[in-house]
Amino acid sequence: MSEPAVPYAEALREFEPVIGLETHVELGTASKMFCGCDASFGAEPNTHTCPVCLGLPGALPVVNARAIESTVRIGLALHCDIASWCRFARKNYFYPDMPKNFQTSQYDEPLCTDGYLDVEVPVEGGTAETVRIPIERVHLEEDTGKSLHVGGATGRIHGASHSLVDYNRAGIPLVEIVTKPVAGTGARPAEVAKAYVTELRDVLRGLGVSDVRMEQGSLRCDVNVSLNPPGAPWGTRSETKNVNSLRSVERAVRSEVERQAARLRAGQRIVQETRHFHEDSGLSTSGRSKEEATDYRYFPEPDLVPVAPDPEWVAELRADLPEAPSVLRRRQIGSLGLSELDSAAMVNAGALDLVLATVAAGAPAAEARNWWLGPLAQAANAGGVEPADLPITPDQVARVVAIVAEGSLTPGLARQVVEGVLAGEGGPDQVIRARGLAVVSDEGVLAAAVDEALAASPDAADKVRSGKVAAVGALVGAVMKATRGQADATVVRRLLLERLGVSE
């Protein structure tokens, strides 16, 4: 079922990639785009609805002014021109989760145009290079409802016995951010795509316009990819939808590069089509062909009046923009006193905010960095998630660091505590209590363990006595094992050497 692929690096030695990204962001406004309904996530199905967002006959839309403001701020943060006058348009097509069978969107008159976003892309050696991503447009539209297909094997409409529709999401303000085609990404189109979405997410988060949770669908990506032989015109592009994590953005570009390269190498043509990305396999499958594209019959929405942002108001919004994440990051990294290499590593791992938050919660920068780039990065990798999505908070990491500093945990025990937190056993203190983890500092208890270890390994004891102090390691290990790791290794070592009459 999976298509032939040429390995990524090899594919990009043979072909030049062009990528493009369309990002949909659900705004975090209190109410929906065109009615007063609650726009929050997670309510019982169809409880956040009214005649307007259900598209009942006779109901009319009224624009949410806060959504316009958020969109203008996004446009400004992305260095766009803000239209002095623009209109909404109807995008007409039939779909049951779209109550009016048209989506109120923007067509040839978007609110924001012609901007860019600078992103830092990791390069060999651990540092980063800045790539400028040109932004074509930023426009505002309404989200659709959500269909749940029941009774089929796949959860898709095909084969389902019936479908349920939840209109809570219908009418949530949605901002679409479209890049221009990005050429010249060389051997790293997937890395550039991921860096762009990451940076965009940070910009949006900094603006406070959305909670940008990809797993809840408040940030969604469509990824366009084409390949062409060096120097040739751009190739036919595919559009991969349903890309709902940062990791998947990278994987989607990667797998599409590999798939297209194999087709091109075999002399086959690339079909202009929509493809669906599957989180589990990291591969995409063909959806509908765009070559028989729907005609959306766009026309200006007659139920709404044009939007004409006052230039003075736009200037005020511009003046009030928060610091760009890249600038903020540089300042914060400076304050941590860590090396540039560490900084790049943290940015690449998506761990900078976590390190900062851990430091803010009281941990020393070096400790925070070690945790997030070490055991926690490994855990994230193993689970295929972003570090931020691990079930442990920076506050909890800082708490573990503090307990170690107090001397109540050894580094080894601290790891066990973190494992417990990640396994959902509760917060650090809870895990310590439940697992009975604490440093055994009662020298009487330890002395017994030391005696046992010496009795069990007379050879090792002799070696130490004869001056081979390094041989004490095996004895320390035995004591640690006997105390289930709860002893302080430094103390154990001191006790062993004392008992053997050896001084360092």
CA distance 80 to 140: 14
**Contact (Cβ atoms closer than 8 angstroms) between residue 270 and residue 235:** yes
Nearer to other proteins, 63 or 207 (CB): 63
Of the candidates 272, 289, 284, which has an alpha carbon nearest to the alpha carbon of residue 237?
272
**Contact (Cβ atoms closer than 8 angstroms) between residue 81 and residue 110:** no
CB of 273 to other proteins, least distance (A): 19
Is residue 300 classed as helix, strand or coil in its secondary structure? strand
Degrees to nearest 5, angle at CA 408 with 447 and 368:
135
Which of 19, 35, 112, 480 forms a contact with Zn ion (CB under 5 A)?
Answer: 35
Could you give phi then psi for residue 274, rounded to 5 degrees? -95, 130
Question: Hey, how many other C-beta atoms are within 10 angstroms of the C-beta on 412?
Answer: 14
Binding mask 281-310 for other proteins (x = CB under 8 A): --------------x-xxx--xxxx-----
- Does position 360 bind other proteins by CB under 8 A? no
Which of 53, 86, 172, 227 forms a contact with Zn ion (CB under 5 A)?
Answer: 53
> Which of the listed partners (Zn ion, other proteins, none) does 154 bind, with a CB threshold of 5 to 8 Å by partner kind?
none
CB of 303 to other proteins, least distance (A): 5
Nearer to other proteins, 116 or 296 (CB): 296
**Contact (Cβ atoms closer than 8 angstroms) between residue 98 and residue 115:** no
> Which of the listed partners (other proteins, Zn ion, none) does 53 bind, with a CB threshold of 5 to 8 Å by partner kind?
Zn ion
Which of 42, 44, 57, 125 forms a contact with other proteins (CB under 8 A)?
Answer: 57
CB of 141 to Zn ion, least distance (A): 16
Nearer to other proteins, 95 or 330 (CB): 95
CA distance 31 to 308: 21
Which of 14, 47, 65, 96 forms a contact with other proteins (CB under 8 A)?
Answer: 96
- Does position 62 bind other proteins by CB under 8 A? yes
- Does position 65 bind other proteins by CB under 8 A? no
Size of the site for other proteins (CB under 8 A): 32
Stretch that binds other proteins, among 113-121, 159-167, 231-239, 397-405 (CB under 8 A): 159-167
- Does position 85 bind other proteins by CB under 8 A? no
Question: Hey, how many other C-beta atoms are within 10 angstroms of the C-beta on 481?
Answer: 12
Which of 17, 20, 61, 309 forms a contact with other proteins (CB under 8 A)?
Answer: 61
Nearer to other proteins, 304 or 385 (CB): 304
- Does position 365 bind other proteins by CB under 8 A? no
> Which of the listed partners (other proteins, Zn ion, none) does 315 bind, with a CB threshold of 5 to 8 Å by partner kind?
none
**Contact (Cβ atoms closer than 8 angstroms) between residue 487 and residue 440:** yes
- Does position 262 bind other proteins by CB under 8 A? no
- Does position 50 bind Zn ion by CB under 5 A? yes
CA distance 82 to 80: 6
**Contact (Cβ atoms closer than 8 angstroms) between residue 416 and residue 430:** no
> Which of the listed partners (other proteins, Zn ion, none) does 51 bind, with a CB threshold of 5 to 8 Å by partner kind?
other proteins
Is residue 288 classed as helix, strand or coil in its secondary structure? strand
> Which of the listed partners (Zn ion, other proteins, none) does 137 bind, with a CB threshold of 5 to 8 Å by partner kind?
none
Nearer to other proteins, 304 or 361 (CB): 304
**Contact (Cβ atoms closer than 8 angstroms) between residue 223 and residue 237:** no
> Which of the listed partners (Zn ion, other proteins, none) does 102 bind, with a CB threshold of 5 to 8 Å by partner kind?
other proteins
Which of 37, 78, 112, 449 forms a contact with Zn ion (CB under 5 A)?
Answer: 37
CB of 58 to Zn ion, least distance (A): 14
CA distance 256 to 18: 11
Q: One-letter amino acid identity for 210?
A: S
CB of 342 to other proteins, least distance (A): 53
* Residue 133 DSSP symbol: E
Which of 66, 92, 332, 388 forms a contact with other proteins (CB under 8 A)?
Answer: 92
- Does position 101 bind other proteins by CB under 8 A? yes
Sequence-distant (6+) residues with CB within 8 A of 329 are 343, 347, 352
Sequence-distant (6+) residues with CB within 8 A of 422 are 379, 390, 391, 392
- Does position 39 bind Zn ion by CB under 5 A? no
For the chain, count helices (H), then strands (E).
Answer: 17, 15
CB of 139 to Zn ion, least distance (A): 21
Residue 115 in tokens: 């901007």
SS3 per residue for 101-118: CEEEECCCCCCEEEEEEE
Subset of residues 326 to 365 that bind Zn ion, contact rule: CB under 5 A:
none
> Which of the listed partners (other proteins, Zn ion, none) does 37 bind, with a CB threshold of 5 to 8 Å by partner kind?
Zn ion
Of the candidates 444, 452, 454, 449, which has an alpha carbon nearest to the alpha carbon of residue 501?
454
Residue 173 in tokens: 């303000």
**Contact (Cβ atoms closer than 8 angstroms) between residue 244 and residue 214:** yes
Cα–Cα distances (Å) from 454 to 52, 182, 325, in that order, read 81, 67, 58
**Contact (Cβ atoms closer than 8 angstroms) between residue 97 and residue 144:** yes
- Does position 68 bind other proteins by CB under 8 A? no
Binding site for Zn ion (CB under 5 A): 35, 37, 50, 52-53
Binding site for other proteins (CB under 8 A): 51, 54-63, 90, 92, 94, 96, 99-102, 157, 161-163, 165, 295, 297-299, 302-305
